Structure 1
Amino acid sequence: MSELNQMNIYAMLSLVATIMTLIVGLFVLSRGARVRLNRLFFWVMLALALWGTGEFIMRVANSEASARWGSLIAGPGWCFSGGLFLLFVLVFTEHERASRNPAVHVAVFTPGIVFLVLLWSTDLIIKGFTESYWGYSEIRGVLRVPSQLYVVILVIAAILLLYRYRQVSSGNKRASAGYVLVAALIMVAVGLVTDIALPLLDIRMVELPLFTCTIMALIIAYAINRRGFLSTIAGTLGGTIISNINEAVLVTGSEGTIETV
């Protein structure tokens, strides 16, 4: 007997979100793989795609065993997506020193590592699965809500940084910060409602934060196309450097004196 059901609309939403995040992530990486900001954005998209892959498997699963595999695959995605997004925003908002600080990395990622280990080895995060109209859904363990709040807190911290940066920026920087801010707000708002608030009220509804990744990917794609968001920064810097060199070239005269041309 097959371990997977036929495709359903909810599984399709997860699949579309996964494909869209991968496409946008790879596209941004192709615009400047040596640029740290672009690489971090790619890792964020990859984490979301991994999360989406696991969610897709859970929604087409035909047994609790295959649903569990989907949950295990999704684990690294949701455990690290918040931390990676915060690092991306730190670089984007020009907090480069903080983004490279080992203490920041430890504070951001250690809880995610702990939650991932618990997910893979205990029932403290997920203690089982139940069938629903959208496929299999998780039965929450005692640490499920804290693990979700960990991700939400990191994303909210990133949102606050984006908001402050947008307030003091202008031009394309301000516009680009606005696009990322809107995308993040949509995802965290939907996640708070469908993944945390409604389940706590014992209201069952299909989880939708991964579907909002499709909207986020479209917003980012628009920003790239219209605003040059996440362009090859090296190319921009190169033009500035050459321009400055052309304005002040130093040469030595016959007597060894420095002259400006």
Structure 2
Amino acid sequence: MNYYAFIPLAAFMINCLTLTYIVALKRKSTVNRTYLLLALCFAELSLGSFVIWSLDPAPGILVHMKVGSIAWIAFGFIFINFTYAFLHKAKDIYYYFSLASVIVFYPLTVATDLVISGYKQYYWGYYEIAGPLFSVTGIVTICLPFIYSIILILKKMINIEDSHTKKQLRLVLMGAMSLVVVTMISDFVFMQIFDMYYFLNLSTIGTAIQSLFIFRAVNKYNFLSIGVEEVSQDLFTNIRDIIILADNKESIIQLNESAEEMFDIRHIDASIQISSLFEDYDFNQDYKNYETCIRVQGADTVVSLSQATVKQYDIELGKLIIIRDITENKRAEEALRQSKIQLEKLAEALSESNRLLEQKVAERTASLQASNIELRQQIKERERAEAARAVEQERLSVTLGSIGDGVITIDTTGCVTLLNKVAEQLTGWPQHQAIGRPLRAIFRLLDDQKRRARTTAVEEALQHNKIVNRTRLTILASQNETEYLIAESGAPIRAQDQQFP
């Protein structure tokens, strides 16, 4: 049994404990996720070394070494990925170069012998025999990304003023440098430069040291938690409002994605003046919800602008400008205002219509009242006329009834309207039966010689519109076949413009 295999096993256990502790904290952030990926890489590197050192004999060990090389080939990229996330640094050419190196060298390692040409057993375990590109692969995929990441962390630690974050960075930096020093001395200096393979490989110990430093940072300084700075950065980046920072020279020094999109500024240029973006704008004045207009992609956009002075230790550093696009709000307000105007006009029109309708109703009511009064007067006049006519008719009836001659009156159609008593006796027709009948039906005259029906004096009076007196006697045949010799006369009766026989 190879007892040296317990060295990578111990490193694997330390890496797993740190990994488990961080997972148990349930901190969900980009930095946390990138470090968990780095911790998994540490654990896989330690576990791979333990497996290789434990195999004796070692069937398929070369395949295992080549396939498992992803742990150390991708190690540099995974560390630089963690560094960029922790420092909130945008991905640049160095980041993508590190990623490209992994994509190039890993297939080359697995498919050829240019990186790993074989393996050899030493007293402490098996180790790769370096191919022609082994050193180049290590430098490009591990050393350069690691050194660049350490430089970034060191610069951040020097420039930052927050002591709490500075202590976190110091522990991360110490762990990373310990890993680099141990790995470089063990795997590169002793084995590749001085060909001292009898020296124990301690690269897995370096990963354990790195994990211990990270554990210390997490446990004591709350490393990998979402701090105020990260929250502020996320808000600054993802907030929908436009945020711009400008120095005292009116030059833009920082802006969020919303500002980049609105003003089409992809790269910050010191020549871009904040005052060139707005109309009616004074850089030296503080604003609160100031409405102004800006030109965006050829169209006018109404915005609400708030501006405040950024100070530190009573020293003015610049201006913080927050802009909110209120174009849609203004359109909605204008639409609401137009709707209100239309409603007011409609209300006025309805009021005028009601007024006109009420006026017409009043006029119609007055007209109806006048017509009603006039109708009542006409009814009264007609009633008086009817009463007078009734009196007159009664008088006429009495008069006609007192006359010794027979009297018959007809209307303009020739129908009987009145018979006195003498006429009833002569014609044989009672008045109630005779009224409405044609005159010739009740007043039948016969020629005394030929006994043929002849015209009456009334018909002749109507025809010639004059009074007709016949002195010659005429035979009147009554209803009961009695005949009388009579003398007749006829005269039209006129009342104003009407004519009655």
Q: Which range, TM-score by smaller chain?
A: 0.7 to 0.9
**What residue identity is the alignment partner of 2:104?**
V
Q: Which residue of 2 aligns with 1:126?
A: 116
With 62-71 and 51-60 compared, the bigger mean Cα shift is at 62-71
Q: Which residue of 2 aligns with 1:156?
A: 147
Q: Per-residue displacement from partner, 1:166-203 (whole Å, max 9, x unpaired)?
A: 10122111000000000000110111111111122111
Q: 1:38-117 alignment to 2 at 5 Å?
A: 38-95=32-89, 97-98=90-91, 103-117=93-107
- The match for 1:171 among 147, 163, 171 is 163
Q: Which residue of 2 aligns with 1:183?
A: 175
- Cα distance in 2 for partners of 1:94, 1:232 equals 12
Residue 237 of structure 1 and its aligned partner are, at CA, apart by 4.5
**1:213–1:106 CA distance, 2 compared to 1 (3 A):** same
**1:156–1:104 CA distance, 2 compared to 1 (3 A):** closer
**1:153–1:203 CA distance, 2 compared to 1 (3 A):** same
| TM-score, normalised relative to structure 2 | 0.43
Confirm or deny that 1:21 pairs with 2:11: no
- Bigger Cα Rg: 2
Residue 25 of structure 1 and its aligned partner are, at CA, apart by 2.3
Q: Per-residue displacement from partner, 1:193-238 (whole Å, max 9, x unpaired)?
A: 111111221112222121121122111111111111112559x959
Residue 105 of structure 1 and its aligned partner are, at CA, apart by 4.5
Which has more strand, going by share of residues? 2
Q: Which residue of 2 aligns with 1:251?
A: none
Q: Per-residue displacement from partner, 1:49-96 (whole Å, max 9, x unpaired)?
A: 11222211221121343432441343111111111111111121231x
**What residue identity is the alignment partner of 1:149?**
I
Residue 18 of structure 1 and its aligned partner are, at CA, apart by 1.7
Give the % identical residues: 22
- The match for 1:221 among 203, 211, 215 is 215
**What residue identity is the alignment partner of 2:202?**
L
**What residue identity is the alignment partner of 1:195?**
D
- Cα distance in 1 for partners of 2:210, 2:49 equals 18
Unmatched 5+ residue regions in structure 1? 1-5, 242-261
Q: Which residue of 2 aligns with 1:201?
A: 194
- Cα distance in 2 for partners of 1:163, 1:18 equals 28
Give the 3-state SS of the residue equivalent to 1:138 in structure 2: strand
Give the 3-state SS of the residue equivalent to 2:88 in structure 1: coil
| TM-score, normalised relative to structure 1 | 0.80
Alignment check: 8 A CA contact 1:166 1:174 kept: yes
Alignment check: 8 A CA contact 2:154 2:173 kept: yes
With 192-201 and 23-32 compared, the bigger mean Cα shift is at 23-32
- Cα distance in 2 for partners of 1:29, 1:168 equals 30
Unmatched 5+ residue regions in structure 2? 236-501
**1:148–1:66 CA distance, 2 compared to 1 (3 A):** same
CA RMSD of aligned residues (A): 2.1
Alignment check: 8 A CA contact 2:80 2:95 kept: no
- Cα distance in 2 for partners of 1:16, 1:73 equals 23
Alignment check: 8 A CA contact 1:53 1:73 kept: no
Q: Per-residue displacement from partner, 1:92-141 (whole Å, max 9, x unpaired)?
A: 1231x22xx5x555311111122211221111111111110111111110
**1:49–1:73 CA distance, 2 compared to 1 (3 A):** farther
- Cα distance in 2 for partners of 1:79, 1:141 equals 15
Q: Which residue of 1 aligns with 2:125?
A: 135
Residue 147 of structure 1 and its aligned partner are, at CA, apart by 1.1
**What residue identity is the alignment partner of 1:62?**
D
Q: Per-residue displacement from partner, 1:35-59 (whole Å, max 9, x unpaired)?
A: 0000000001111211222211221
Question: Which structure's relative contact order is higher, taking Cα pairs within 8 Å and 6+ residues apart?
Answer: 1
**What residue identity is the alignment partner of 1:201?**
F
Alignment check: 8 A CA contact 1:183 1:215 kept: yes
- Cα distance in 2 for partners of 1:28, 1:227 equals 13
